[in-house]
Amino acid sequence: MKKILLHQMPNEMPQDILHFVSKANIYDSSCSPEARVYFIDKGNGYYLKCSGSGKLEKEAKMTEYFYSKKLGAEVLSYISNDRDWLLTTAIIGEDCVYEEYLMSPTRLCDTIAYELRKLHETDYTGCPVMDRTTEYLSLAEKNYHTGSYDNSHFPDSFGYRSAEEAHAVLTAEKDALQSKVLLHGDYCLPNIVLNNWKLSGFIDVGSGGVGDRHIDLFWGTWTLWFNLKTNKYYERFLDAYGRDKADESILKVVAAAEVFG
């Protein structure tokens, strides 16, 4: 994860957090235009995420839940006013776009597949988002009607030629999204933290909840294609996860939702 040293702290930072991070070096570690992420070089390290008002509420709850399962970072503060601020501890290790991991793509593929299967077998009692699938499908439907459609970031095997084609598949097959597991929701290499090849935890779990495992399976295959610049690990990832629970026909339904953002 990139880190760019800042020479002054963001002006809008809440006073409680400003006091906490005072005298520490702060680095911009953002990788998305939707939120700013800062690394606080203090003690074992902290991360501070900033986004629009109310945007991080679900992420704060899901991060707390993952932490309770020993699968994520500890939430130290969540403040919502004109903007949202989420302060967490840093998870020990490196995310999976770390060069050492990328240099062993077969091992990396197998590792993230095994860890995903373990996540999906986690007891989800008490999860704050118990019906992620309904939210997921509702957002896809909303985005279809507002003209949000982009298949440019998906490999050919998941591509749809038009919004209408994708929407037709989604409308006809959406009931296939049935299985109930604990989802990460954005299961990509930068969101999986390993410490010497052993799982330390997951970050950016704001799209998580209880839903269909194929959402995570879709993103697992996608991230290997995107970050390794090849689709050769698609079959291996599904094999390592377990074909007994992976239905490729449902992955195509998930793809039909994902092209709507």
Catalytic residue ranges = 186
Bridge partners of 85? 50, 79
CA-closest candidate to residue 131, choices 142, 139, 119, 121: 139
- Using an 8 Å Cβ cutoff, are 119 and 182 in contact? yes
| Rg from Cα positions in the chain | 19
CA-closest candidate to residue 246, choices 207, 226, 217, 203: 217
CB atoms within 10 A of CB 48: 23
Instruction: State the Cα–Cα distance between residues 201 and 115, nearest whole angstrom.
Output: 10
